[in-house]
Structure 1
Amino acid sequence: MNIRNRIFKPLAGLAMLAVMMSSLLGAPARAEEVKAGDLVISQAWSRATPRGAKTGGGFLTIENKGSAPDRLVAVSGDFADKIEVHEMAVKNGVMTMRAVENGLTIEPGKTVTLAPGGYHLMMLDLKAPLKQGDKLPVTLQFEKAGTVVVTLDVQGVGAKGPAAEGGKMDMKMDGMKKM
């Protein structure tokens, strides 16, 4: 191995690592956490919708850090005529979706996740298509914690979750040698 290989290969590896790490500095942080009483709302997001779509879904996590249950009793936003909490379930091989009556209960010490395939915010009669990068303010009304505004970050059409899951990264360093 000549001197060029001994010096430049490790430097090239370090340069590549520096470029990958610096790209993380501009990456969005984890979706904001919003507090309302004993509740912590986080990971609020939505999916972009195709042109002409009149409905969309909203997703978030609600953690109850208190000692008493609370209920999400109403949701609203200026971008849709109506927003309801819905539950999707598959029973006997048939998918069903229904509005949750009397609010969604968040038990003390528990976390309720509104996600694709389960509980979610059903946004009805959208006033315009939801576009990736949009920020949608949504007002959540809780029985005990009161009213709080959260922002849904709109991801791509096929997104499976919020864009920045805690800033974790999974980089393969195969072929790089330890110095």
Structure 2
Amino acid sequence: MNLRKFGAALALGSALFSAAAMAHSDAAHVKAEGAWARASVPGQQGTGAFMRLTATEPLTLIGVETPAAAVAEVHEMKMENDVMRMRAVEALPLPAGKTVELKPGGYHLMLQQLKAPLVKDSQVPITLVLKDGKGAVSRLTLQVPVSMVPPKGAAPATDHTGHGGHQH
């Protein structure tokens, strides 16, 4: 092999290794299924996004990013003294091999200060920010369908529109 072909092969191998490394870190070792975001109406400031997450290794969901909202957080809804309360959580553990459901009325992604309404039958980009046991951060970017009702196989809908009456 001449020097030019060797250099080209080395450059190609290096590029492939770099691409594999980037894909690995972006893959985040987690599978998202049944994802959907609730459609909103003009003037509505917030909505929820839901899905099932299954990690292949212990991970922690530590953040959410989307260009569709000024604020995106992981939230938990639960009954406290006969009042449904919603609060942001800083971290949501994703045990290896166990499915964690983000659903209406439980843990979910909250998109607040929407920049525009989320229109039915469109998609919204959502990036999950995860941390592994060694502290390495990775991201999983999803194109989440927007709907008034969950798609087949997703978490069932409850009245969770806008979160206006919930206490933080």
TM-score (norm 2): 0.69
Using the alignment, how far apart are the partners of 1:62 and 1:139 within structure 2?
Answer: 13
Q: 1:32-64: per-residue Cα shift (whole Å, max 9, x none)? A: xxx934311111101111220011101111102
Q: How does 1:1-150 map to 2 (within 5 A)?
A: 36-66=27-57, 69-101=58-90, 103-144=91-132, 146-150=138-142
Secondary structure of 1:133's partner?
coil
Q: 1:51-89: per-residue Cα shift (whole Å, max 9, x none)? A: 2001110111110223xx211111111110110000000
| Structure whose CA Rg is larger | 1
Q: Structure 2 regions of 5+ residues with no counterpart?
A: 1-25, 155-168
What is the CA-CA distance between 1:153 and the residue it aligns to? 0.5
8 Å contact 2:74–2:110 — kept in the other structure? Answer: yes
* Number of equivalent positions: 125
| Amino acid across the alignment from 1:75 | V
8 Å contact 1:45–1:151 — kept in the other structure? Answer: no
TM-score (norm 1): 0.65
CA RMSD in angstroms comes to 1.7
Using the alignment, how far apart are the partners of 1:140 and 1:76 within structure 2?
Answer: 7
